[in-house]
Chain A
């Protein structure tokens, strides 16, 4: 027996699921994306804050330079002293030419910083006076300008705030990643378990179907998700397979009946002839009958093979563009004397000049079968038997219609009679193997068409429709 999806160790199975693989991929993609986004925001924010601080330092420097011009060092020292006392004050330092502090709220600043008049903005460690001597515990963005007389003035802003913001953003990033891991794991577990449950139920049902219970169907939950759609398709396939299996069984039963009957007749005829003796004339007669039985069997076999070949889409069958009217005319001509002899009024209606891509031999045989049947059964209804052959064109289809006014076929049997060997009870007494309509149906399908049986009120109307012109695939 075929083994499909034998359950593995449950934990291993979770890792093998598509959901797991997708989770891993999405996790990686979103991590990179989140890192990029947050990194971008962080660096932009830092840049923005830095340039704002730089501007603030420059503005303040300009203001202080004005103060200096108005009142010299003493006024400057006074202003700085006042500003230093405000909360959130900037950093100030005024030093003389030797680098000694004259005023300001910053303690030690390295000598090199004060000398860097031309270097512009620099980041330096510093210590605030009001916080005791903890040199280097803070960082600041500073700028130094030279005042006349060798004095130097330093203005700066603490960058702790900016760094704190960067720190907050970093924490957000780590938190986000952590959340993603947790949520990813959770969704993976949820999806995997749900998917696995559906798959398990499908596998389980499939196994019982393989074991022979063709009536089972996959579960459809009604959520219209992809599993439902898959289950519906598979179920439709199962319905078709089941129908084919039933058909196959019916056909093999019929084959057994229709081939075994003449075979056993043949056998008993030979046996009886041997047992009875009776001289040459009797033997001759028995042999003649045996040959007739054999011929009937051969005919049945040939018809079966033919149908099988046509149904398999016999790739060698040659297709030409042929006028359907000519085929109809030729078959009419072939059967007209037979119909006349049988007392059937056989008519060929006016045919439009339409061509189809077809195999002349097969289409002729199909039409011959229909006409032959119609002549045989037209008698049954009493009244004057009539059979008509019509070719008509209808919206891209070309139809070949054979209608009779016999007893017809009951609606419920019409589909069945196109199957191999199916003969309705009342026709069992007539010659034929029940293969005629199957062949017609197979030929129609080979040409991309179909066979339809309709009520002719009274009688049967068989319609073989073909696609017009070049529409037939080069089978």
Chain B
């Protein structure tokens, strides 16, 4: 995966590029809005990570220009402004996801990877499969092996999101955002409890667990077999 990081803080930018490379991706960087826009126009990137406040041309303007030119590359906006209304303006300008600073790298990596998958064929499928687990988005049914599994509506959406991004780590914050549509920080980790409930329905009594906890990052569904 090719990632372009447009960020004026040299140190943060260098760290980010290095970490992305260590995670197995190709990463480039630009230090201001104009340069970033010029490089992004080449259209060779899978994801753009754009800081909101940039010298010469601010981040939102870069996104607006790209979108105006028909460039649909997924964009993750980084911003020191983390409030609800700032996020809304960022997404309205054409951003696809919004991450307030300071962030954990694991959070950024998970979001970038999910964004990169957005245009994959998996997106359009009506049936998701991981190992012997099968989720039908139309009939809203879940089957493991030959055994049907009954899920609450929210549990279904949780599993759907995990399976849509099968093999990719999703963080707790992402789950709270995408499955519950909340962007605040519930002080207690409510997501973990929901996950353990889902796990008990999906994995309990089966030989191979599909849902895995990734320490310090989040959860991933994959078939290790």
Residues of A within 8 A of B (CB): 291, 294-295, 298-299, 302-303, 305-306, 309, 314, 316-318, 330, 333-335, 337-338, 340-341, 359, 361-362, 364-365, 368-369, 372, 375-376, 431-432, 436
Q: Which of A302, A309, A333, A431 contacts B185 (CB 8 A)?
A: A302
In the assembled complex, B186 has its CB within 8 A of some CB on chain A: yes
Q: How far is the CB of A332 from chain B (nearest CB, A)?
A: 11
List of A residues within 8 angstroms of B187 by Cβ: 299, 369, 372, 431-432, 436
Q: Which of B82, B193, B194, B196 contacts A302 (CB 8 A)?
A: B82
Q: Which of B89, B102, B154, B183 contacts A298 (CB 8 A)?
A: B102
In the assembled complex, B12 has its CB within 8 A of some CB on chain A: no
Known: A317-B85, A436-B187. Contact between A337 and B182, CB under 8 A?
no
Q: Which of A305, A364, A369 contacts B83 (CB 8 A)?
A: A305
Contact B83 A333 (CB under 8 A): no
Contact A337 B190 (CB under 8 A): yes
Instruction: State the majority secondary structure of interface residues on A.
Output: helix
Other A-B pairs beyond A316-B89, A334-B182, A372-B188, 17, CB < 8 Å: A291-B104, A294-B102, A299-B185, A299-B187, A302-B100, A305-B83, A306-B83, A318-B88, A337-B194, A337-B196, A338-B190, A361-B183, A361-B184, A362-B84, A365-B182, A365-B184, A436-B187
Q: Which of B86, B89, B193 contacts A338 (CB 8 A)?
A: B193
In the assembled complex, B180 has its CB within 8 A of some CB on chain A: yes
19 A-B pairs (CB sep. < 8 Å): A299-B187, A309-B83, A316-B86, A318-B85, A333-B154, A334-B180, A337-B190, A337-B197, A338-B188, A338-B193, A341-B193, A361-B182, A364-B182, A365-B184, A368-B184, A368-B186, A369-B187, A372-B186, A372-B187
Q: State A267–B68 Cα separation when bound (angstroms).
A: 48
Q: How far is the CB of A108 from chain B (nearest CB, A)?
A: 108
Q: Chain A: which residue is nearest B179 at the CB level?
A: A334
Q: How far is the CB of B5 from chain A (nearest CB, A)?
A: 21
List of B residues within 8 angstroms of A436 by Cβ: 187
List of A residues within 8 angstroms of B193 by Cβ: 337-338, 340-341
Q: Chain B: which residue is nearest A330 at the CB level?
A: B180
Q: How far is the CB of B27 from chain A (nearest CB, A)?
A: 23
Known: A333-B154, A361-B183, A364-B182. Contact between A316 and B190, CB under 8 A?
no
List of B residues within 8 angstroms of A316 by Cβ: 85-86, 88-89
Q: How far is the CB of B112 from chain A (nearest CB, A)?
A: 20
List of A residues within 8 angstroms of B196 by Cβ: 337
Q: State A161–B147 Cα separation when bound (angstroms).
A: 131
List of B residues within 8 angstroms of A338 by Cβ: 188, 190, 193
Q: State A314–B82 Cα separation when bound (angstroms).
A: 13
List of B residues within 8 angstroms of A369 by Cβ: 187
Q: How far is the CB of A298 from chain B (nearest CB, A)?
A: 6
Q: State A359–B84 Cα separation when bound (angstroms).
A: 10
List of A residues within 8 angstroms of B100 by Cβ: 302
Q: State A188–B4 Cα separation when bound (angstroms).
A: 81
Q: State A118–B85 Cα separation when bound (angstroms).
A: 101
Q: How far is the CB of B38 from chain A (nearest CB, A)?
A: 31
Contact B186 A334 (CB under 8 A): yes
Q: State A372–B188 Cα separation when bound (angstroms).
A: 7
List of B residues within 8 angstroms of A372 by Cβ: 186-188
List of B residues within 8 angstroms of A299 by Cβ: 185, 187
List of B residues within 8 angstroms of A334 by Cβ: 180, 182, 186, 190, 194
